[in-house]
Amino acid sequence: MREISHKLAFAHDTQPTRYSDVFDPNNGGVQARVALGDAALLDLAVAAAKKAQPAWAAVNPQRRARVMFNFKALVEANMDELAHLLSSEHGKVIADSKGDIQRGLEVIEFCCGIPHVLKGEYTQGAGPGIDVYSFRQPIGIGAGITPFNFPGMIPLWMSGVAIATGNAFILKPSERDPSVPVRLAELFLEAGLPEGILQVVQGDKEMVDAILDHPDIKGVSFVGSSDIAHYVYNRGVAAGKRVQAMGGAKNHGIVMPDADLDQVVNDLSGAAFGSAGERCMALPVVVPVGEKTAIALREKLIPAIEALRVGVSTDAEAHYGPVVTAAHKQKIENWIQTGVDEGAELVIDGRGFKLQGHEDGFFVGPTLFDHVTTDMSAYKEEIFGPVLQMVRAESFEEAVSLPSKHQYGNGVALFTRNGHAAREFAARVDVGMVGINVPIPVPVAYHTFGGWKRSAFGDTNQHGMEGVKFWTKVKTVTQRWPDGGASADSAFVIPTMG
């Protein structure tokens, strides 16, 4: 059986004592096992990073950018290999896997311009003969803890900015689909990144805790569920680290009476069911405004959902593939039953879906609920599967309040032709990322990604300038070059620039 290990800057001959199975979601079989590391292994990785990082920080920004350019070209040249590897462990269809990697590459493209964003500030003549300037320096060693649902994109979000700004970076990917991060680390080395600057350590909670507690790791970036994000944030901050921890979501799509319903249905089909709903930016809740809108939307949604093709990840005609594990499949189906028990109308039931020839695969059919209410736990919590819930609103005001009052505040979308309504909605809704006729409002790489409320813990977002700020610290220098004459007076009060 294939064994997936770490990508380290040193020879590692110690035999692991613990392993985790890596499944092929398309057929339900175990295709590999991943070696789980421990605190002792992390110590060795940190030591290698600590040795390599000062020299990398001393490399001028344009040379670091050249590594990013080289890496981007290598990933593009190996896109098919990476996408098939990703799909074989995650289950998303090949086209979606390529999109996963491409969105990560867009952050690498941003990192190719790192010399520009690292330019500091300068004030000449801030005081008599005094100049002030500031610049950004790397924090030293950073770490990323990434989820199973985007094994290409999110590691690139974190590692690209951290490395481009001069840090060493230790990545702990999900043990469910660990191969793509290892391959990306290999391509970084091929692109010219020095040994020790990017290392991959495999593991579970034991490795996560070791990362959070290690005194030489100065910053931790995390994406995962909200409960774990909260845990990571609290433990990391208690250990004196800067932490950004992105959590779960329950994104709403508000449909105004004037919306183009054909476009809305098309957008919802992809946003709710793409990648089997395993996205923190999925759109699992649709909110039609007014009974007439709800009836018309439902009439169009049902045939569109029933026409969705569920298939293996290599099926070019499939809209989405299996979910990642049997346990996750069971969790989704349990939530569907909870929705039924709580009184929601189950319009389309995706439970028990079987794909001919792949009966043991982890497939869940598309599911639609109507008449969902805000007191239902199936509405309050993140299902993270191909389940769309319809919550009917009587007015625009009620529709704005639904995502605003929800515990999660990751993303939201409004579908309308009315510019005034769109402007009001964007200004008032209590959610971090807003789409206007855009169902999945993930910002471009030179902006930043981050939600509000229980969707994010910490003060900075992922990538863009927020990412640069997170992985660097500002140093400010106030300088004076005397003309040779000694000052007659000693300063016993704080200096001013007047």
264: exposed, middle or buried (C-beta count within 10 Å: 0-12, 13-18, 19+)? buried
Q: What is the average per-residue pLDDT within 28-35?
A: 96
Q: Compute the average pLDDT of residues 317-335.
A: 98
Quote the pLDDT of residue 494: 76
Query: Catalytic positions, please?
Result: 280
Burial class from Cβ neighbours inside 10 Å (0-12, 13-18, 19+) for residue 443 reads middle
The whole-angstrom separation of Cα 408 and Cα 456 is 9
Three-class secondary structure of residue 474 per DSSP: strand
Can you state the angle between helices 153-164 and 179-190, rounded to 10 degrees? 30
pLDDT > 90 fraction of the chain, expressed in percent and rounded: 94
Q: How high is the pLDDT of residue 495?
A: 72
Asked if pLDDT for residue 487 goes beyond 90, the answer is: no
- pLDDT tens track for 259-313: 999 999 999 999 999 999 999 999 999 999 999 999 999 999 999 999 999 999 9
Question: Which DSSP category does 276 fall into?
Answer: G
| Residue 153 in tokens | 């994109």
7-21, 233-247, 384-398: which has the minimum mean pLDDT? 7-21
**pTM, entire model:** 0.94
Domain chopping of the chain, boundaries: 2-247+455-477, 252-436
Mean pLDDT calculated for residue range 224-249: 97
Say if CB 279 and CB 385 are below 8 A apart.
no
Element (DSSP H or E) covering residue 243: strand 242-246
Residue 94: what pLDDT? 98
One-letter identity of residue 10: F
Report in angstroms the alpha-carbon separations of 23 from 26, 32, 174, 268, 441. Answer: 9, 7, 13, 29, 31
CB 193 within 8 A of CB 71: yes
pLDDT, tens only, 364-398: 999 999 999 999 999 999 999 999 999 999 999 99
Amino acid at 8: L
CB atoms closer than 10 angstroms to residue 484 = 5
Looking at the structure, give the CATH architecture of the domain made up of residues 2-247+455-477: 3-Layer(aba) Sandwich (3.40)
Question: Tell me: domain 252-436, CATH 3.90.180.10, correct?
Answer: no
Residue 393 is encoded by which pair of tokens?
Answer: 């609103």
Distances (CA, A) of 255 to 259, 387, 409, 423: 6, 18, 18, 15
pLDDT computed for residue 491 by the predictor? 65
Q: 234 pLDDT exceeds 70?
A: yes
Report pLDDT for 493.
Answer: 73
CA–CA dist 315, 309 (Å, integer): 10
What is the DSSP-derived secondary structure letter of residue 274?
Answer: G
pLDDT tens digits, 91-142: 999 999 999 999 999 999 999 999 999 999 999 999 998 999 999 999 999 9
Helix ranges restricted to H, 288-435: 291-306, 326-341, 377-380, 396-405, 419-428
pLDDT at 489: 63
Tens of pLDDT, residue by residue over 47-100, are 999 999 999 999 999 999 999 999 999 999 999 999 999 999 999 999 999 999
Integer CA distances (angstroms), 71 to 64, 84, 138, 236, in order:
11, 19, 21, 30
Residue 485: its pLDDT value, please? 60
Task: Please give the full DSSP string across 51-86, using - where no structure is assigned.
Answer: HHHHHHHHS-HHHHHHHHHHHHHHHHHTHHHHHHHH
